[in-house]
Amino acid sequence: MTPTGKLYFPTGQNIIKPLVRLKESIRGLGVPVLYVNDTHPENSEEFSAWPPHCLVGSWGASVVEELSPQSGDLVLHKDSLSFFSTPVAEHLLRGFGVTHLYLAGVATEYCVMACALDAMARGYVVTVAQDAISSVDINECDGEQALADMLQAGVILSDCATVSRNPVARPNERPFP
């Protein structure tokens, strides 16, 4: 999301302001924000498909300044597209009693979709804030296809304003945690 980043794409910066607003709304509910960051060792398997990026200990593996974690927020690092590739991920969510995940970030057709589909397969309700995600679109319309695939799988597509007004989409559910 930073112009000097290894995998920078210009539209990624467009989601920072909506993410800030969404983060503040979720935090206003008295719950922490969970950051899931790409953080790769030098020998990451992901580098067979992508150039090295977000290396452990580098500035690229940290949260961008505008979205810096605050006290009580949680930061989890992952070495793959999906948050659920880290065994601690589901234990953490289940431990907090999470049933509904709200996803935002980059990139729509990679990490966002992988996390959303993995969460759905594990029985979570998933809402993706469309104005707080961005696509790389290596192939034209990759992002649009990812949205269609997520919608087909049962993911709820919404926007930051709607999520902020009504974060709990169904009775007896609560946002993270």
Is 37 a domain residue?
A: yes
28-to-42, 136, 160, 164 alpha-carbon distances in Å: 38, 31, 14, 9
Domain assignment present for residue 175? The answer is no
- Scored b (16 or more CB within 10 A) or e, 118-157 reads bbbeeebbbbbbbbbbbbbbeeeebbebbbeebeeeebbb
Q: Is residue 155 part of a domain?
A: yes
Structural domain including 76 reads: 10-165
Decide if 146 is inside a domain.
yes
Give the CATH number of the domain where residue 138 resides: 3.40.50.850
Q: Is residue 5 one of the residues assigned to a domain?
A: no
pLDDT at 15 over 80: yes
Kindly state whether residue 38 falls inside one of the protein's structural domains. yes
pLDDT interval class at 174 (50, 70, 90):
very low
Q: Is the pLDDT of residue 64 over 90?
A: no
Q: Check if the beta carbon of residue 32 is closer than 8 Å to that of residue 174.
A: no
Average pLDDT over residues 1-15: 79
The predicted model gives 60-82 an average pLDDT of 90
In a domain, 150, yes or no: yes
Predicted local confidence at residue 25, as pLDDT: 87
Candidate from 43-47, 95-99, 146-150 with smallest mean pLDDT: 95-99
- Closest by CA to 75, choosing from 50, 99, 92, is 92
Q: How far, in Å, are 30, 52, 100, 127, 143 from residue 174 at the CA level?
A: 11, 37, 7, 12, 28
82-132 confidence digits (pLDDT tens) = 999 988 899 999 998 889 999 999 999 999 999 999 999 999 999 999 999
pLDDT of residue 120: 97
Query: How many percent of the chain have pLDDT more than 90?
Result: 54
Instruction: Decide if pLDDT at 172 tops 50.
Output: no
Q: Is residue 1 part of a domain?
A: no
Cα 75 from Cα 161, distance rounded (Å): 24
Provide the number of structural domains found in the chain.
1
Using alpha carbons, select from 6, 4, 12, 10 the residue that is nearest to residue 112: 12
- pLDDT for the residue numbered 17: 93
